[in-house]
Each structure stands twice: as structure tokens, then as C-alpha cells.
Chains A and B, each alone.
Chain A
Amino acid sequence: MTTLKSGSVVFENVRKDFGTFTAIPDLSLTIEPGNLVTLLGPSGCGKTTTLRMLAGLEHPTSGKILIGGKDVTMLPAHERDVSMVFQSYALFPHMNAVDNVAYGLESSGFKKKEARERAEDGLVQVGLEGMGHRLPAELSGGQQQRVAVARALVLEPQVLLLDEPLSNLDARLRRKVRTDIRELQQRLGFTAVYVTHDQDEALAVSDRIVVMKDGKIAQSDTPQNLYDEPVSAFIADFMGEANVISCEVIEQAGDLATINVGGLQHKLTSKRAKVGQAKLAVRPGAVTLDPDTDTGLGGEILTTAYLGDHVEYEVETPVGNFFVIDHAVERFLSPKTTVSIGFRNRGLALIDA
């Protein structure tokens, strides 16, 4: 299990109907070998269906799926060179950890002895040395999760599928396990497809994120690009919160655009701006509040919430309400205070209206 053969994944015009309901109308997607790609989206967006089609647990209504260049569209799950870590882990409760890990190896035709040795190796890889004789019920949540990962990895699949692997862990463990998974993936270099609805998780582990909505790809990009340059209000809001407001692009010169928001002029980098009406996504942390001046865009504080390391404000302005996160907790503004609004340099993006 030192190096794995990593394969590419291609979806070609895949459509999936459940009875009269169309879960995925037309999906085309390519995943490079060795990448960790996250399918991200709200529940019901088709991300799990996509993953299950890749695993062979669902079959597409039409279209093609290729793994490592081989057409697997009609192949049943057990004949595909992929393996999967389930949300519930799905560890067999009547088998101990080693037997769970060895199960897939034995199914693939390994001799009992060799399957066992490889399974023990797999447990070592995930840091569970000496725990092999334990039943799933005798392991902690994090340990169960690692058994599930080991069980999938020992098969040396071309692609590893992870279906919300962290959702059953508590918040603290979640951070550690997601780092472990990423580290393991980098070390062994396998292709991984990761499904989650948590954008922090997606940002933390992915080479590339595919955001899905209503069975379609809303945007597919690197984590940084996705956060900095969302193409739509949906992406902007889904990848960390954003205030979406109307603005006017006054000038476009090279990568630099000048915009006017209710009298406030601001310059920002944008490759896609055109002069005229536009929409602007503003991260809550990119808004500055100044109670002492009244230049530019004026507003009045409606509600406040003190959260220890930051304060949340809702501010009413002529162009709409702003949700603002302010880290200057020592300066706590009370409701009804009038403020002047400004923008920082990062955290703003022009998006499709």
C-alpha cells in the first residue's frame, strides 16, 4: 500500500432519472489522476447520486462513465476498481476490525493468510496497530472511521470514494481526521472523490471543488478561486456568506474595475466586469464600519450580536441590508448608531446578475 495506481474519472453526458424525477439532467466532468476532488452542494443537489453512480450502486439512465480510461457504465459495483468510505462507515458489526478490512481482499480472491497480512498492514497505515481483534462497537467513532478508510484503501483502488466521511464525528475530531485523510491521500497519491455539504471541509481538503446545484455543476475550480471569484450569487453565498447587492461598473481598465455602490466608489480586480449594471458579492468581513464620518455610503445599525472574538451587525443602507462581521470587539456599536460603510481590498467579487 505504498503507492497506488491512480486513475482518472470521466462523466460523459450522464443523466439519471428516478422514476419521473430527474436527479441529474446532463453531467460532464473530468477528474485528473491523483487529485482529491470534492463534490459540494446543499442536500438534494445530486452529489451523492453522482458518487453512487461512480461506485456502481446506481446506474445512469444515459451517458457514459469512464474510470482509468475504461468504460464502466454498466458494470456492477463489485466489478469496478473503486472503493468507498460510507457516511455511516458501514462496518460489518459481526466482524472484528481485521476481518472487516480483509473482507474486500478475500472477495477479490486473495488467500486468507495474505488477505489478513495486508489487512494488518492497512490498519498500521491508519494508525490502528494492535486493534485488529476489536469489534466495531468496541472502537471509538474516529477509530471506526479509520477502519472504514483502511478497508477501502487496502484494495488499492484506482479511485477512492468518500461519502461525507466526517459527518458522524464531533467537531474537534473532524478537523484532525480531515487533515489525516488529506495527508494520506497526498502520501499515497490516489485519486479521491469526496462528497460533503460543509464548505470549510471542502476548502480544507480539496485540490478542486465541484459545486453542484439541482443536479448541475454550478462552478468547478480550485478552492481559492472558488472563494475569491465566485461566478454566481449561489456560489458566493454557499462558499462562506456574502452580501449580494446591486452596483454599477463605471470603468474597466485591464484587470481593474471601478464600481459605484450607492455613492461609494471602489476599485477591485475583476476579469469579467463590463461597464454597466452589475451584482457585487461582499464577504461580511470585507465591510468596514466608521461611526465617526458620514462620507460615502451611510447606514444605520439595526441589530448586533456579540460573539466573543467578533461582533455581528446588521446594517441598513439605501442599497440594502448588510451583514457585517467586525473583529474590533473593543469598539462595540449599539443599535441606531449611524455609520459610514467602506470596503476592504479583498473579499469582493463581481458576479453574474
Chain B
Amino acid sequence: MQSGNKRLDYLLVMGLISFLILPWYRVEGGFFAFEWLSNFLSSSDLAPGILQMFVEGRSWLVLALAFFLLGAGARFVSDADKRGKLMVIAGGLGIVYMTMQGLAISFTGWAWTFMDNNFGMLATGQPAMGAGAIVLSLVFVLFIAFGFAERGVMKGDAFVVGSISVLIFLVTVFIFYPIGSMFVGSFQDFDGSFKPDGFFENMQDPSIWSLNCVVGAGRCGVAWRTLTLAVMTGIGSTVLGLAFALVATRTNFPFKKGLRLLTVLPIITPPFVIGLALTLLFGRSGVVTEALDFLFGIEPSRWLYGLTGIWIAQVLSFTPISFLVLIGVVEGVSPSMEEASQTLRADRWRTFWKVSLPLMKPGLANAFLIGFIESMADFGNPLVLGGSHGVLSTEIFFAVVGSQIDPSRAAVLAIVLLSFTLTAFLAQRLWLSGKNFATVTGKGDSGQHAGLPKSLSISVYGIVIPWMGFTLVVYGMIIFGGFVKTWGLDNSLTLEHYARAFSVDFEDGAFVWTGVAWNSFWTTMEIALISAPLTAAVGLLTAYIIVRQTFAGKNAFEFALMMSFAIPGTVIGISYIMAFNLPPLEMTGSALILVACFVFRNMPVGVRGGVAAMSQIDKSLDEASLTLKANSARTLRKVILPLLRPAITAALVYSFVRAITSISAVIFLVSAEYNMATSYIVGLVENGEYGIAIAYSSMLIFVMITVITVFQLLVGERRLRRENRVSGLIKSRKFRMSQEKTA
């Protein structure tokens, strides 16, 4: 019980600090500014818990202290079983009570009116939780974890039980609580009172559900339009992706390396940039539009601004992702199957239709569903190209920032969107899991893939080559567009946009960042740099637990984590502002909410990479470490992490890049103080300042290419060195950057 006492002592010290020193409630100026240190005993807002309950009249906090002392009592119990039980009970009661009081008591008193009637008015309310309250909640969670560990759960490994508990706690607070608040929000009025009318009114709103385009006159509801668009995008990107995959693996196409480069594009391209480039080509004053007008007298029209335009932009954006998925599928079809088919008198055409394609079917379905989910979640392209023909994700945005602010409507739309994507996600997980025929067995399969039938290879080339050209033109536009004075009106070249965005002056012996973009650029870098290591840490810890530990509810745990991937960014954004705008947790307008959003949105990729990498490390290495007197924390630090270095680097790069490019959730969460590059660019686009917007976008792409290249070189070097150091023991496979990418 030595170690048990030691960790309990740490916990008790933490608890005491939370009551005696840390400000119990949220500090207005920000906790990490440490201004509260100067007068935290005198000011009522900054007082620690112990003063809050006895001096400031927030007597309900006494119960939290009581539960803490109950847990502290475990220090004096020697029987492990009873001691563990006491800790679990104290922790459980504590965390439930902290949640209840946080939700029930708001700024001015009871949060819900019925409580005024039942319990009488409260003399004073409470602001949002601050450092003290949060640390104490964590102490309660750890009480539960250590209590279970003492009772022998997870072989008595306190580190593992602690990690699992804290992860569950974090996921609950940052994923389930916001989504739950959003559901509640859909039944509430703006001032928080219960008003179900809004919900039912919106749920039956014809502008969401109308089928007029099919059965009558007029336009269909936004839900159907979004669904149609998603299906079309899914089909489009799957077909193109398959064509690319076939060219890359089954033909003698000379530029295969170039094709592979394509897979990097979606990672480094901010989601609205494609839409932006399309407007430069096909918009009212686009190059192509004007050329057609000039040559053939075709009237410029606004056809691009609508579902067609969004569809083109989305297919351009998501084809590379589908290509990445399908390359594995096409390569995974065992060549001996195709050879067997050919020896059975089937020609290439028959082999392709009857053997290869059916074997790829589950992979194709998977690619379709990924395209579907991506399209649903996409926010950037519809925002730039949608005009008045919005889709769900943009409608949600306009429901909270537009002329009529209607949070209930936003919540309802978000629920509709969420149910679409979750259905697709569930279909992908439940229906497709285990249906993959195209598996690489690890046995040397020395056969050769069958060539494509002639007619098919011609049509595949016919699709791929023009589309590649189109992609090149689109990306060329992004680079070129930044140097053109006013698109369509004055096509002279200029550096003016770059100068306005990124000028630096030298004044009084110091650099002054005078460009308009610098502010958001540095904020973006700062937040990306903070969130990347956190994302990697949380993701890899989760991966360690999923791969190396077994516990009841592990599948549910994994599923819940992965599910957060299927939640569109817009839904996360709207749910975060609904959840974290009011006590008990208030974070809107801070950098913290952006960091939290990035960590929990990008974590699943880290998890996936970590799981893949960790499955390749022999489990007996961990066990050897355990029998060599190292506990699991030391094992993780000394054995597993050093072997996972490539996966860690990949997770770091990925979360860094994603923090820079993402827009959908961010646009809800930015504030004047913390504005991100993407939302700043979208603002520029809305004001019609295309030049600067494009210049800024190409700068971002340039920065990300630099970052990725540098990391790739570092990892590549390390891989080589390790390869010849430990060849044969670990096969370090390069971690694929992303299979899915949500907007």
C-alpha cells in the first residue's frame, strides 16, 4: 500500500490547493495572466473555495468539501478493499455534486425557475467554474480511479485506471456535454427558458423538409438539398478516386509519382480555397466566363453559385481523399485471384467485372461514405459558392450570425445534420466492418495484377488526365490570383496584396508587423503550436489504452471516441458556443476553447495512427518492462514512446496542419482577440477582397508545405537510421497522414 498512500497524498495536496489557494471561480482576465495573485484574498470574485463558502455566502460548496474530506478519510483505512470502496464512493458523490451544483446555480441564483419555487430564492448566484473548482473535479475523478485501482481493477494499475477515467471525463465534458447542451438548446428560447414551440416549428419547417422540387413548384428543403449534394459528391469523388487509383496501380502511366503528390493536397488546402479558385475561373468575372463571352458571346451567368458549383468544388476537394482510400483497396486485391481468373479462360474484361470489381466493392462503399460525410461536413466551399442556395452547415451558421438570430433553429438544423452523418458513420462501422476482402496477408503474393481491359483503360485515362489538368489549373489560380490587381477588371500584376497582408516595418530599432494578416497569422500559429502536442498526447495515450489494455466497455469507449470524427465541425462549433457560453463552464472568446476544439476534433486521427503503430510493437516488450520493475507510466515513457517516434511526429504535423486549415468549427469560436487565419480569410471573401484572401491562402499553403517537408525530412532520416539499427525487429511503416478529413 506504499504507492497507494503516496498517490493519495498527492491527490489530497491537490485538493487542498484547490480549496485554499486557487480562485474558485473563473478569472475574468484569464487565469494564466496570474493577475489574480495580487488580490485574490480580498476580491470576492477571486477568492478561493474556502472563503467562498464561509465568507461570500456560497454555502452549498460546503458539501463539496465534505465529500472531499470523506475521500481523504481513506488515508486512515488500511484494508485495501474498504479503502478503495470509500474512495470510489467519495469521488462519485463529489463529481456528481460538482456537476449538479454547477448546472443548477447560475449567475443570479437557481438556473431553473422551478427550483426557485421549491427551494426558495438564492441570495447569491455563482459565476463559471474556475481553476479551484476544475482542479477539485479532477481530484474527484482521480478518487474514483485510484479507488478502483486499489480494489484490483486493471491489475491494480493506477496509471491506467487514472488515464481511462480522465479521458472519459474529458470526452464527456468536451464532446457529450456540448452535444447534449445543443439538444437542450433546441428546446430553449434565447433567454434559456423552456419553449418547445421553436423546436417543433423548426422541425416541421418546409424550408428544411419541403419536397417541392420533386412534387410541386419551387425548391426543395435544405435537408434534401444537402443530402442530394452529399450523395452526388460521394459518387463523383468515388468514381474519380477509383479512376485515379486504377491509373496509379494498373497502368504504365508515366507520372505516377505526381499522382501520389495529389494526396497531400487536401491536407494543406484550407477548405474554401477551391471554391475561391473556381470563382476566379467561372464566376461572373472569371477568366473562362469572360473568354466564353468574348469568343462565343455566351452571357455570363451565376450558374456557379449553387449546388453545381459546390459539387464541383467538393469533388475537387475530396477526390484525393477517396484516391488515397482506394489505392489501398485496388492494391489489396490479391493478384493471384486475377491470375486464377485468367487461367480459367476469362479475358481481362471479364476478370475485371467478375473478380476485381466485386472484391473492391466494400472499399468502394467505404470511399463513398467518406465522400458523403465530408460533403455533409464541408462548410468552406458552400460558404463561398452557396449564395442563397445554402446547405445545412451554412444555414446553421447564418442562423446564429445572420439577421435573425435563432439558436433553436441552429440547434435543430445541427441535429438534422448530425443524424445524417452519424447514420453514414454507423453504416460504415457496422455494415462494412469485417467485409473487406481486399486484405494484405503479409505472405508474399508474387503474382502480377491483371492489366485493365483496353476500353476501360482508355476511359480511365479520359477521366484522369483532364481532371489532373483541371486540378493543376485550379491550384495555379490560387498562386496566380494573389498577384492580380482586381480580378476581371484590372488584370495587371501587382505585389500589393502581399504587401498589405504581410508588410513588416522597421521602427525605433524593432520590427513592427504592420500587415493586416499578421495578427491572425500569429494567433493561428500560437494556437496550432499549443494544440498539436496536446492532440498527439491525448491521441496516443488513448491508442495505448485501446491496444494494450482490456477493460469492460472498451469497445464503447473506442466507438465514442471515433464517433466524434463523424460530428461535423459546424455542429461542434454551434454546440460549443451553446455549452461554454454560460456557467458552469465559460470559455467562449478565449484561446482555450479553440485549443479544446482542435484537440478533441483531431484526436481520432492521432488515435488511429497510434493504434496502427502500436499494434506493430510486440506486446512482450511491455511485459518485459513490467517484470523489470517498471510501472506502466515508465514503460510508456521509456519503451513505447521511443519506438513510436514516427507516429508521434505524424500526429504532431497532422494536428498542427489541421489547426491551421480548419474553418467550420473555428468560425463560431473566434473572437476579436483570438482570430484565426481561416476565419479572417472568409471575412475578406465576404467583403469581396479576393486579392488579399487569395494571397493569404497561398501563404498558408506555402507555410504548411514547408512544415510538412521539414518534418518529412526529419522523420525520413530518423527512419533510415533506425531501420538499419534495429532492422527486422520493428517494421516501421509510414503512418498515412489522413484517411478522412473533415472540414
Contact = CB atoms under 8 A, between A and B. Distances in A.
Contact of B728 (A79, A80, A137): A137
Given A56-B626, A93-B730, 12 more contacts: A56-B627, A57-B627, A76-B157, A77-B623, A78-B628, A78-B629, A79-B629, A94-B643, A103-B628, A137-B727, A152-B627, A161-B627
Nearest to B638: A103
A152 B628 CA distance: 7
A94 B726 contact: yes
B310 to A, nearest CB: 49
B726 A107 contact: no
B624 A86 contact: yes
B302 interface: no
A254 B626 CA distance: 54
Contact of A103 (B157, B623, B625): B625
A92 B630 contact: no
Interface in A48-96: 55-57, 59, 74-80, 82-84, 86-88, 90-94
A104 B630 contact: yes
Interface residues of B, number: 30
B726 A136 contact: yes
B725 interface: yes
Closest 7 CB pairs of A and B: A104-B628, A90-B624, A93-B726, A77-B626, A90-B620, A107-B630, A107-B629
Given A76-B155, A93-B730, A94-B726, A87 B628 contact: no
Q: Is the interface of A mostly helix, strand, loop or mixed?
A: loop
B629 A104 contact: yes
Interface residues of A, number: 33
Interface in B711-743: 722, 725-730
Nearest to B623: A57
Interface of A: 55-57, 59, 74-80, 82-84, 86-88, 90-94, 103-104, 107-108, 135-137, 151-152, 155, 161
Contacts of A56: 155, 626-627
Contacts, number: 93
Contact of B628 (A75, A94, A135, A151): A151
Given A90-B621, A92-B639, A77 B729 contact: no
Given A82-B627, A137-B727, A107 B643 contact: no
Interface in B117-173: 152, 155-157
Contacts of A75: 156
20 contacts: A55-B623, A56-B155, A56-B627, A74-B80, A74-B152, A76-B156, A77-B626, A78-B627, A78-B628, A83-B628, A84-B624, A86-B624, A90-B618, A92-B624, A92-B639, A94-B643, A104-B630, A107-B628, A152-B628, A161-B627
A93 B634 CA distance: 16
Contacts of A55: 623, 627
B627 A77 contact: yes
A94 B630 contact: no
Contacts of B728: 137
A152 B730 CA distance: 22
Nearest to B617: A93
Q: Is the interface of B mostly helix, strand, loop or mixed?
A: helix
A107 B623 contact: no
B631 interface: yes
Nearest to B729: A93
Given A94-B726, A136-B726, A137-B729, A59 B629 contact: no
B84 to A, nearest CB: 11
A151 B727 CA distance: 22
A216 to B, nearest CB: 25
B685 to A, nearest CB: 49
A75 B643 CA distance: 28
A104 B639 CA distance: 12
Contacts of A59: 152, 155
Interface in B572-629: 618, 620-621, 623-629
B549 to A, nearest CB: 13
Given A76-B626, A78-B627, A82-B627, A135 B620 contact: no
Contacts of A79: 3, 629
The listed residue with most A CB atoms (<10 A of its CB), out of B623, B642, B722, is: B623
A137 B722 CA distance: 11
A327 B621 CA distance: 47
A75 B625 CA distance: 16
A86 B620 contact: yes
A92 B624 CA distance: 9
Contacts of A93: 643, 725-726, 729-730
A76 B158 CA distance: 10
A7 B620 CA distance: 25
A77 B3 CA distance: 14
Contact of A78 (B152, B630, B725, B729): B630
A25 to B, nearest CB: 21
